[in-house]
Structure 1
Amino acid sequence: MQLSGIIAYPITPFSDDGKKIQFDILGQTLEHLLDHGCDAIAPLGSTGESAYLSLEEWQQIAEYTVKTVNQRVPVIVGIGELTTRQAILKAKFAESIGADAIMVIPVSYWKLTDEEIFNYFEEIATSTSLPVMAYNNPATSGIDMSPELLVRMFENITNVTMVKESSGDIQRMHRLHELSGGGLPFYNGSNPLALEALCAGASGWCTAAPNLLGGLPKTLYQLITSEQLSAARAIFYQQLPLLRQMVIAGIPKVVKAGLAIQGIHAGSPRKPLHHTTTEEALSLREMLAEVNR
């Protein structure tokens, strides 16, 4: 599967009491992402609060998303599990409902060795025919996969075909390119690094930003791929304050608060996460007004 462009992350909308998923709102946000030219949809990542969902809820969202997108763009289902067994269960489910790929992030309580991480991916990949995007985000997973390990998995595990790099270190992306001879497609997962990463040859940008910024992320991607760098810089700096705020305050709470400002009420993040503070909400409203001016 050749994947490029903007890989968009939908939120998981909850009822006001946080107990139920609002599937009608999820459908509305999915259509919003598709209307703004996103090239793939990736449910059940950190934006979708997957760590706070029951297995049944995870399965419902995965299936609903695949059916709603209905092959208009690829759907990449996120999997982040402590145990190999549970990750395999989800990988098989994703394949059974017609997902196009899975994005796998190993989550650790005990620190894992490189060999344990390699075996984790190997066993998951063996359980499914779906392409696997290896997702490196040490800030949320507690595991930092080196470029050397990621390239080793790419070269030795058939289904591992892509990497999402979210460490925020552009040198990691350069190293992935060098070690693989340019053969390993890598995707930027650090919002404030979008300009540098795409200029460095990232195949795409994995981001929740289109929920609030509409078509601006896609425009940035198109400007860079058409080598209009001056215009790309201008549109990147237009987005940067909001991209930075999403990282600082937390993506689920910022996206949900921003959607509420735009008239889409997706509830609060699930506890123990809190919604934005009054100060954060006012700042967010000003940023949205400025970027849409």
Structure 2
Amino acid sequence: MKLTGIIAYPITPFTTDNNQPDLEKLGQSLELLLQHGCDAIAPLGSTGESAYLSFSEWKKVAQHSVQVVANRVPVIIGISELTTEQAINKARFAAQIGADAIMVIPVSYWKLTDDEIFGYYEAIAATVSLPIMIYNNPATSGVDMSPELIVKMFKEIPNITMVKESTGDIQRMHKIHQLSAGELPFYNGSNPLALEALCAGASGWCTAAPNLLETLPKELYTLIKANDLQSAKDCFYRQLPVLSFIVAGGLPKTIKAGLALKGLQVGEPRKPLTAANEKDKATLAKLLSI
């Protein structure tokens, strides 16, 4: 499977009592992302508060996402687990419900060695035939995978077909390209780096931004593919204040606050995360008037 373009990250809405995922609102938010021209949907990432869901809740969100998208674009289910066993359980469920791929990030309490990380991915890949996107985001996972390790896993584990690089270091993307002789597709996961990453040959941009910026992320991707760099720069700088704000403020709280400002009430983030305060809401409202 060759993914290109905008891979969008939906939130996980909660009911007003914060007791359970609100599947109806989830469906509405997914439809909006599709209307905004997103090329794939990736539920249950950092934006979707995957780490704060029970396994039962995670399964409900995963299954409903696949059902709502209904093969209109690929669905990539996010998996981030401390244990290999639970990651495998989730991978099996993703395959069972008809997901197109899985995005896997190991989460660490004890610092993992490269061999342990390799074993984690190898065990998951041996269980399912789904394409696997390696997700490198040390800021949230506590695991930093080097370009050398990422390319080694790509070469030696057949299911691994792509990587999302979220460190914000463009040199890592260059290194992945060089070490894999351009064979390993890489995707930008750092919002403020979108312009440079796409110009450097990223196959796509993994982002929650379409929730708030609607069609602008896809417009940026299209302009770069058309080699209209001046228009691409103009488009990117229109987005940058919002991109910087939502990353600095924390994606679940800022995206949920922005959706509420746009008329879609999706509840608050799950505690210990808190909702955006009035000052942040006012700033976001101003930024979204672009």
Tell me the TM-score range normalised by the shorter chain: over 0.9
Aligned length: 290
Aligned to 2:286: 286
Aligned to 1:88: 88
Q: Does 1:240 align with 2:247?
A: no
Aligned to 2:271: 271
Note the 1:31-180 alignment, pairs <5 A. 31-180=31-180
Q: State the distance in 2 between where 1:149 and 1:26 align.
A: 36
Structure 1 position 246, deviation (Å): 1.0
Q: State the distance in 2 between where 1:168 and 1:247 align.
A: 12
Q: State the distance in 2 between where 1:273 and 1:18 align.
A: 12
Deviation sequence 1:183-232 (CA, Å, 0-9, x none): 00000000000000000000000000000010000000000011000000
Structure 1 position 277, deviation (Å): 1.3
Q: State the distance in 1 between where 2:104 and 2:20 align.
A: 25
- Report the AA paired with residue 228 of structure 1: D
Deviation sequence 1:128-149 (CA, Å, 0-9, x none): 0000000000000000000000
- Report the AA paired with residue 217 of structure 2: P
- Report the AA paired with residue 133 of structure 1: M
SS in 2 for 1:255: helix
SS in 1 for 2:87: helix
**Structure 1 residue ranges without an equivalent (≥5):** none
- Report the AA paired with residue 11 of structure 2: I
SS in 1 for 2:288: helix
- Report the AA paired with residue 201 of structure 1: G
Q: Does 1:216 align with 2:216?
A: yes
Structure 1 position 17, deviation (Å): 2.0
Higher alpha-carbon deviation: 16-25 or 130-139: 16-25
SS in 2 for 1:99: coil
SS in 2 for 1:79: strand
Q: TM-score, normalised by structure 1?
A: 0.98
Q: Does 1:29 align with 2:21?
A: no
SS in 1 for 2:260: helix
Structure 1 position 13, deviation (Å): 0.3
Structure 1 position 278, deviation (Å): 1.2
Q: State the distance in 2 between where 1:18 and 1:255 align.
A: 17
User: Is the Cα contact below 8 Å between 2:20 and 2:57 reproduced in 1?
Assistant: no
CA RMSD of aligned residues (A): 0.5
Identity %: 66
Structure 1 position 161, deviation (Å): 0.5
Aligned to 2:3: 3
Q: TM-score, normalised by structure 2?
A: 0.99
Structure 1 position 20, deviation (Å): 1.7
Q: State the distance in 1 between where 2:46 and 2:26 align.
A: 15
Structure 1 position 270, deviation (Å): 0.3
4+ runs deviating over 3 angstroms: none
Q: State the distance in 2 between where 1:286 and 1:252 align.
A: 19
Deviation sequence 1:164-196 (CA, Å, 0-9, x none): 000000000000000000000000000000000
- Report the AA paired with residue 134 of structure 2: A
Q: State the distance in 1 between where 2:21 and 2:164 align.
A: 27
Q: State the distance in 1 between where 2:97 and 2:126 align.
A: 18
Q: State the distance in 2 between where 1:57 and 1:277 align.
A: 27
- Report the AA paired with residue 281 of structure 2: A
Q: State the distance in 1 between where 2:247 and 2:37 align.
A: 23
